[in-house]
């Protein structure tokens, strides 16, 4: 059974098992150190640092797609498993209470923000691509403004042609008053994020209001405008969800970098003053 490109369910459970084993071994190690009156936080801290260093490799891997390394799907799965492992190790390292002192509290807050954003990102990475595929349109994010501009030009050409052939400006006037706003740029962002259909209902309502005032010939042009509006609606949907994916990375990656920097500084302080 395949759950994503590049790995199977068996592989997932294999790595989950290895992560669980590492967590269990670390936990038993800290118990043994505590029983001998040692500092168990050093042991759990080193293991946690190793896992965090491995998680940082995922960002490096994405910047080196040409390297003969494992497929990105494998790296994503390992990053996900390692992220949950890091969270459990952090609880073990801090006794589930968080670090003490101002520096430790800031580090704890950043760590939890990074973890929460990671879980949210995991959910989005699983759900959003499927929603985009089901939309029936495929488009690169950077090309969306150009696509919308092309649709707008096509709509305006249709309206101009309608005005010339029919000899009335009813459709043109309605477009300038209402639909022109819709075709200027992506609209209904939040509604698209939450999977609503407000944009479709809005366009349909505008067309229904106008339709009774049009002749049969004008209605043919209106139908073409509506079809282009439907195409733009799907592009708007892509824009909203792809923006969400990109915005999540703008939160998760800087937070992860901040955590890594603070962890390294924390390690340096520990090595200087306590070892």
Largest separation between any pair of C-alpha atoms in the chain: 95
CA dihedral 241, 242, 243, 244 (to 10 degrees): 50
Which tens digits make up the pLDDT trace of 172-223? 999 999 999 999 999 999 999 998 899 999 999 999 988 888 888 999 999 9
Residue 61 to residues 52, 68, 82, 158, Cα–Cα distance (Å): 15, 10, 15, 48
The answer on pLDDT for 4 being more than 60 is no
Decide: 131 and 273 in contact? Cβ < 8 Å. Answer: no
Provide the pLDDT for residue 95. Answer: 76
What's this model's pTM, rounded to 2 decimal places? 0.77
Residue 4 backbone dihedrals phi, psi, to 5 degrees: -165, 160
Strands (E), the chain: 2-4, 7-8
Which of helix, strand or coil describes residue 99? coil
The answer on pLDDT for 129 being more than 50 is yes
Number of C-beta neighbours around residue 95 at 10 A: 11
Share of the chain above pLDDT 70, in %: 90
- Burial label for 194, CB within 10 Å (0-12, 13-18, 19+), is exposed
């Amino acid at each position: 059974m395949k759950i994503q490109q590049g790995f199977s369910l068996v592989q997932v459970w294999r790595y989950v098992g290895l992560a669980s084993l590492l967590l269990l071994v670390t936990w038993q190690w800290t118990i043994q150190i505590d029983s001998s009156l040692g500092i168990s936080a050093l042991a759990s801290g080193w293991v946690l640092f190793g896992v965090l260093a491995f998680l940082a490799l995922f960002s490096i891997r994405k910047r080196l797609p040409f390297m003969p390394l494992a497929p990105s799907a494998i790296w994503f799965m390992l990053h996900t498993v390692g992220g949950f492992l890091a969270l459990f190790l952090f609880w073990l390292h801090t006794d589930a209470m968080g670090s003490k002192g101002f520096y430790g509290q800031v580090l704890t807050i950043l760590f939890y923000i990074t973890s929460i954003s990671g879980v949210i990102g995991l959910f989005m990475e699983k759900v959003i691509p499927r929603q985009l595929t089901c939309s029936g349109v495929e488009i690169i994010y950077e090309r969306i403004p150009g696509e919308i501009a092309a649709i707008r030009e096509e709509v305006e050409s249709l309206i101009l042609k309608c005005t010339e052939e029919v000899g009335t400006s009813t459709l043109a006037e309605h477009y300038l008053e209402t639909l022109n706003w819709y075709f200027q740029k992506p609209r209904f962002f939040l509604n698209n994020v939450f999977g609503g259909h407000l944009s479709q209902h809005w366009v349909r309502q505008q067309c229904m209001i106008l339709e009774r005032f049009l002749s049969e010939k004008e209605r043919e042009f209106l139908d073409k405008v509506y079809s282009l509006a439907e195409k733009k609606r799907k592009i708007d949907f892509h824009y909203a969800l792809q923006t969400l994916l990109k915005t999540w990375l703008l939160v998760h990656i800087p937070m992860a970098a901040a955590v890594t920097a603070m962890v390294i500084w924390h390690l340096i302080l520990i090595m200087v003053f306590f070892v």
